[in-house]
Structure 1
Amino acid sequence: MQKPHPAPTALKERIRSLDILRGFALLGILFINIQLFSLPNASFANPLVLGEMSSLDHFSYWFVHVFAELKFMTIFSILFGAGMLLFVNRLAEKEMDGAKIHIRRMMWLLLFGMIHAYFIWFGDILVAYSIIGLIVLLMRKMKDAWKLVLVVFLYFIPMLFFYAVGGFFQTMPESMLEESMAEMLPSAEALAAEIELYQNGSWFEIFIKRAELNINYQVGSFFMLSIWRTTGMMLLGMVLLNQGILSAKKTKLFYTILAVLGIGVGAIISHFGVQEMSEHRWEVIHYFKYGYQYNYFSSIFTSLGYIGLIILIYQLNVLKFLMKGLEAVGRLAFTNYLCQSVICSIIFYSYGFGLFGEFTRFELLFWMIGIWIFQMASSYIWLKYYRMGPLEWLWRYLTYKEKPQLRLSVKSSFR
């Protein structure tokens, strides 16, 4: 009997709701990423470093904070965990060592992430996902009830870190505090220098800045936030898959309730957080101890609400064109994620058009929508001729050590 070979998931085995959700999450993270690409770094936590906001910019900040920040990344983490479980289980059903192949898969993802982080953009998530993907692999066989207990425990750890950081700042001598605040409250000269770097600096100068920022993201943010929250969300994704929630197996009433309660509760709590930060004018100590905590805590509700909403739309078989676009983006998620970074680099950095710092928060939303349209259209067209994206093909080739078929034998109608 011929020994079965590991191979990419066949189209007939794909779960459409997962692809649609993945496309939705991938496009949604651009709400945040486009700001990190185009505005000074400190303005992400404190929008007032750029001066008083106009009414349109204030609305844009409020909208992104309440409905986007942490929400789409949470969905992406949930789906990564679900996809990991599917990957390992499907190989196990074929009597193959799915865990061993998953480890190899994560090692290649780590390499892709390091290239992305240091040569394209400091906001990479692939490095963290590859490392955490190895950790979560060890927990995949836990009972769902114990996974949920661990999810809750892990979820609250970063909140304690945020509070501790705020308390630490509060007890610092004033001279030391001013030095520590230099990055969060940069001077006008420092802001001007950052804008000048990205508008006119050489690729190598921007590379040096990117390397410095990566130390913070890959070490500080990883141990303060990512390892706890992302591990928890990947485990939650496994539970939601096991329970049939992500695969659209629940009733329309279930997803309706999930959408209304999740988005409603999450938006109310996050809105209160924006009000609190605005009243305190994004003061650093308050931001860490209290202000940002509202959005952190509420994001899980909004994320689950979005999952309910998207699956409900899918079940109702409405907005078909949008669903097909999201599904296409989701099937090419790896390619599209890195393409977003390349596109934004070209638009905002000096070795492209050098438009860093040239647009308001409100204007950036139009750039984002343009990238959305491009990625949905290009992904849809690509899948009429090819089975997967170019980076998906390369990742599978490296993972399975066999070349998967890329081109379709006949043009696909893509549903």
Structure 2
Amino acid sequence: MTATTPLSPTEVAARYHALDLIRGIAVAGILIMNIYAFANIYAYYVNPTALGSPSDIDLFTWLVTHIFADQKFYTLFSMLFGAGIMLMAQRAKANDMPSAGLHYRRMFWLLVFGSIHAIFIWYGDILVTYAIAGLWVYFFARNTDAKTKLIVGSIFVTIMIGLMSLLALFAGDAPAEDMSDMINMFTPSPEYIAQETAVYTTDYTSQLAHRTEFFLANLPMMALFFGLFRIGGSMLLGMGLYQLGILTAERSRSFYIKLMLIGFIIGFGITAYDTYSLLESKFDLNASMLSFMSLNSIGAVFVALGYIAVFCLWFKSNKFAAFRKRLEAVGRMAFTNYITQSIICTLIFYSHGLGLFGQLDRYQLMIIVAVIFIAQLLWSPWWLARFHFGPLEWLWRSLSYGRKQPFRKV
């Protein structure tokens, strides 16, 4: 490629397959937690006692998902998003090409897709936050070393967790009227439960109004605080890990074993303390806030590092290669699969579909997760055997590059 050749999307042969593998696993991990918010009121996501005393199997399901999935996979996915930005910037630099224009077009269209998703499909969208965070993390992509990215990313995540810890610790001192929304987020009143349930068990117009209000009310917090510090910081960590060859399985087996042990000992240690505190306090407001905003959040970063090590060790071992290839295909179509999960779940739970909102236990939701992900394991390689990209990946690329990309394989 010469200096005058426009940038083009990464070809299959040039892809880092380890990134695809980790991304594919993260897509499944994200659904494990997201389905709680699809299937019930938001408080159900963060508090297993929000609707009353849970059954033993319901509490056990919460326990497993809280320890192994909650915040872990969206942290991992944020790191991978940062790595993707870094990959594009490196390719541009290697070919002496400016990449800023392409990057900002990609973020603009991601913002458009995310806004459509958040308003018309599901209020729990993360794409808008990714697009906004992607605007500023790009400044670190081309001209800073890995150490700088890791330090700045760690500082940003620490700032977020520190501020949230202070909020959680002193929440009891705030007037109840000032804390009403936060209280209902963790320990909702019967009236609040009925109100939120009614939105998704009546008609699509009510859902649309609720999602629009939620989107506009939470956009500043998501973009300027959570997106800036937590998501943006995780993206910078991912950039640094990519630059060091950690995310692409380029380090030694002994390195990944050490990373796994350190990540899991610290991460699961913090998560175990967090889980004990929640159970011991019977999920009172302060413990729930401290868990959601601080303890589980910092534990998730270390667990995500441990997961990276495990998945890279698997990639280097070449065991279960056929299954791994299917996961890689899911990862290559992560955008399409993420949106597909939202469409399927809203059709299962919301009133314009099967209307099962608030009717299933947590263990039953995990069965739905398994069915959806098995379907994606089957359809993703089938699709990519016939097409160069997933349908949404193709559309995003075509819009970003300003020209129609090849779609169907000859």
TM-score, length of structure 2 as denominator length: 0.94
Q: Indicate the residue corresponding to 2:281 in structure 1.
A: 280
After superposition, residues 213-228 of structure 1 pair within 5 angstroms as 213-228=214-229
CA contact (8 A) 2:186 2:289 kept: no
| Alpha-carbon distance in structure 1 between the residues aligned to 2:3 and 2:137 | 32
Q: Indicate the residue corresponding to 1:187 in structure 2.
A: 189
Q: Indicate the residue corresponding to 1:81 in structure 2.
A: 82
Q: Indicate the residue corresponding to 1:324 in structure 2.
A: 325
Q: Residue 101 of structure 1: CA displacement?
A: 1.0
Letter in 1 for 2:368: W
Letter in 1 for 2:110: L
After superposition, residues 229-378 of structure 1 pair within 5 angstroms as 229-289=230-290, 293-378=294-379
Letter in 1 for 2:207: I
Q: Residue 174 of structure 1: CA displacement?
A: 4.9
Letter in 2 for 1:147: K
Moved more, 78-87 or 291-300: 291-300
CA contact (8 A) 2:92 2:98 kept: yes
Q: Residue 151 of structure 1: CA displacement?
A: 1.8
Q: Indicate the residue corresponding to 2:97 in structure 1.
A: 96
- With over 3 angstroms needed to count, the CA separation of the structure-2 counterparts of 1:283 and 1:325, relative to structure 1, is same
- With over 3 angstroms needed to count, the CA separation of the structure-2 counterparts of 1:184 and 1:139, relative to structure 1, is same
Which secondary structure state, in structure 2, belongs to the residue aligned with residue 282 of structure 1?
coil
Which secondary structure state, in structure 2, belongs to the residue aligned with residue 138 of structure 1?
helix
| Alpha-carbon distance in structure 2 between the residues aligned to 1:62 and 1:216 | 31
- With over 3 angstroms needed to count, the CA separation of the structure-2 counterparts of 1:400 and 1:49, relative to structure 1, is same
CA contact (8 A) 1:128 1:226 kept: yes
CA contact (8 A) 1:259 1:306 kept: yes
| Alpha-carbon distance in structure 1 between the residues aligned to 2:52 and 2:45 | 13
1:12 to 2:13 alignment: yes
CA contact (8 A) 2:291 2:297 kept: no
Q: Residue 179 of structure 1: CA displacement?
A: 7.3
CA contact (8 A) 1:274 1:291 kept: no
Q: Indicate the residue corresponding to 1:34 in structure 2.
A: 35
After superposition, residues 186-205 of structure 1 pair within 5 angstroms as 186-199=188-201, 201-205=202-206
| Alpha-carbon distance in structure 2 between the residues aligned to 1:212 and 1:244 | 42
Root mean square deviation of aligned Cα: 1.9
| Alpha-carbon distance in structure 1 between the residues aligned to 2:397 and 2:177 | 53
CA contact (8 A) 1:277 1:291 kept: no
Q: Residue 246 of structure 1: CA displacement?
A: 1.2
Moved more, 334-343 or 154-163: 154-163
| Alpha-carbon distance in structure 1 between the residues aligned to 2:8 and 2:145 | 28
Letter in 2 for 1:120: I
CA contact (8 A) 1:122 1:217 kept: no
CA contact (8 A) 1:276 1:291 kept: no
Q: Residue 180 of structure 1: CA displacement?
A: 5.8
Identity fraction in percent: 37
- With over 3 angstroms needed to count, the CA separation of the structure-2 counterparts of 1:14 and 1:293, relative to structure 1, is same
Letter in 2 for 1:404: Q
- With over 3 angstroms needed to count, the CA separation of the structure-2 counterparts of 1:48 and 1:221, relative to structure 1, is farther
Q: Indicate the residue corresponding to 2:147 in structure 1.
A: 145
Letter in 1 for 2:111: L
| Alpha-carbon distance in structure 2 between the residues aligned to 1:207 and 1:231 | 28
Q: Indicate the residue corresponding to 2:112 in structure 1.
A: 111
Q: Indicate the residue corresponding to 1:408 in structure 2.
A: 409
- With over 3 angstroms needed to count, the CA separation of the structure-2 counterparts of 1:217 and 1:33, relative to structure 1, is farther
Which secondary structure state, in structure 2, belongs to the residue aligned with residue 309 of structure 1?
helix
Which secondary structure state, in structure 2, belongs to the residue aligned with residue 49 of structure 1?
coil
Letter in 2 for 1:127: V
- With over 3 angstroms needed to count, the CA separation of the structure-2 counterparts of 1:190 and 1:290, relative to structure 1, is closer
1:72 to 2:73 alignment: yes
Q: Residue 148 of structure 1: CA displacement?
A: 2.0
| Alpha-carbon distance in structure 1 between the residues aligned to 2:209 and 2:172 | 32
- With over 3 angstroms needed to count, the CA separation of the structure-2 counterparts of 1:290 and 1:330, relative to structure 1, is closer
Q: Residue 190 of structure 1: CA displacement?
A: 2.8
Moved more, 14-23 or 320-329: 320-329
CA contact (8 A) 1:109 1:130 kept: yes
Letter in 2 for 1:89: Q
- With over 3 angstroms needed to count, the CA separation of the structure-2 counterparts of 1:175 and 1:347, relative to structure 1, is closer
Moved more, 46-55 or 381-390: 46-55
Which secondary structure state, in structure 1, belongs to the residue aligned with residue 140 of structure 2?
coil
- With over 3 angstroms needed to count, the CA separation of the structure-2 counterparts of 1:356 and 1:5, relative to structure 1, is same
Superposed CA offset, 1:168-189 (max 9, x none)? 5322245655676344432223
User: Where does structure 1 lack aligned partners over 5 or more consecutive residues?
Assistant: 410-415
Letter in 1 for 2:146: D
User: Where does structure 2 lack aligned partners over 5 or more consecutive residues?
Assistant: none
Letter in 2 for 1:142: T
Q: Indicate the residue corresponding to 1:156 in structure 2.
A: 158
Letter in 1 for 2:10: T
Q: Residue 224 of structure 1: CA displacement?
A: 3.8
Q: Residue 309 of structure 1: CA displacement?
A: 0.6
Q: Indicate the residue corresponding to 1:384 in structure 2.
A: 385
